[in-house]
Amino acid sequence: MSIISCKIMQDEIIWILENDSSIDEIIIVDSKNIREFVEKLDKVNLRYKVLSLEDISSLAEIRSECKNYTVMIHLMELGLHRSPKELKIKVYETIKTLAPFSSGILLFYGLCGNVLGDVEKDFERSSTSCPVRILKDKDHRIVDDCIGATVGGVNNYLRILKSVSDAGTYLFTPMYSKGWRELLDLNKLNKDPSKALQLMKKTHEMIGYKRVAKINTGLEYTENFDASIQEFAELFEKKRTKKKRL
């Protein structure tokens, strides 16, 4: 089985790998996005292999009759979220690449700007024989995004959004607290970091963002969560609030 995931969901993947005793082997597709992920795997003493796509393709034929339960993980660039159209293109391309080596593909994504809502149907109609599934909540609804997946689905997400609806609020999970720079990509606003920061502050003011809320996921793979949120709040002069996982 293969998992294609946004980097922001890596803690949730590690929890699954730690707690699913049926998994015999973990393979990580080599890329620039895996450094932090494999460091966390090392800390919890999970064994894994890092292989290039070329190496994986050569193993596929050899292991076609293997009865071991192997999970292959491909982490995608966080910055893709800045362009939903580009995100869809990259996710679909990756599905097509991994399908020949997979018994099934699970996407650790949500609707993400409403571009992945038809992914299961699209690949049912394609020549790809590998089943493709995307994250859904207990009511079988595709989650909105990574935050929606983390808090347990559509209803919980709506409750949280309603609870902070009096002011524009950033919702930070542990990984969001580490990945916001990559997600916002301040360098594209201005090569001068201080000027880029000022431009982003003005953008926040125009949109109406006034605070950052901590989402307690119960997972502790990402270190210095509080310190990272405090740094963001101080940089952008936001108030902090805390939301428990629902």
| 246: pLDDT strictly greater than 50 | no
Higher pLDDT, 63 or 151: 151
Check whether residue 118 and residue 196 sit in a common domain: no
Q: At what angle do helices 10-19 and 35-43 cross, to 10 degrees?
A: 30
Check whether residue 53 and residue 111 sit in a common domain: yes
- 22-43 average pLDDT score: 96
- 21-28 average pLDDT score: 96
Check whether residue 175 and residue 121 sit in a common domain: no
| 27: pLDDT strictly greater than 90 | yes
Q: Which of 83, 113, 134 is the last residue of a domain?
A: 134
Check whether residue 7 and residue 66 sit in a common domain: yes
Structure tokens at 57: 């393709």
DSSP-assigned states of every residue in 176-207? HHHHHHHHHTGGGT-SSHHHHHHHHHHHHHHH
Measure the CA–CA gap between 182 and 172, rounded to whole angstroms.
14
What does the pLDDT look like over 174-220, one tens digit per residue? 999 998 878 766 556 566 767 777 787 787 777 788 889 999 999 99
Check whether residue 12 and residue 121 sit in a common domain: yes
Task: For residue 233, give its domain range.
Answer: 164-244
Decide if 142 is inside a domain: no
Chain centroid to CA 129? 25
Check whether residue 110 and residue 9 sit in a common domain: yes
Check whether residue 68 and residue 124 sit in a common domain: yes
Check whether residue 174 and residue 111 sit in a common domain: no
Check whether residue 120 and residue 174 sit in a common domain: no
Decide if 143 is inside a domain: no
| 241: pLDDT strictly greater than 60 | yes
What does the pLDDT look like over 124-164, one tens digit per residue? 988 778 999 999 999 999 999 999 999 999 999 999 999 99
Q: What is the per-residue pLDDT for 65? A: 54
Decide if 219 is inside a domain: yes
What does the pLDDT look like over 83-110, one tens digit per residue? 899 999 999 999 999 998 899 999 999 9
| 50: pLDDT strictly greater than 90 | yes
Q: Please name the residue ranges forming H helices in 76-192.
A: 84-98, 119-124, 146-150, 154-163, 174-184
Decide if 141 is inside a domain: no
Decide if 153 is inside a domain: no
Check whether residue 12 and residue 82 sit in a common domain: yes
| 62: pLDDT strictly greater than 50 | no
Check whether residue 238 and residue 174 sit in a common domain: yes
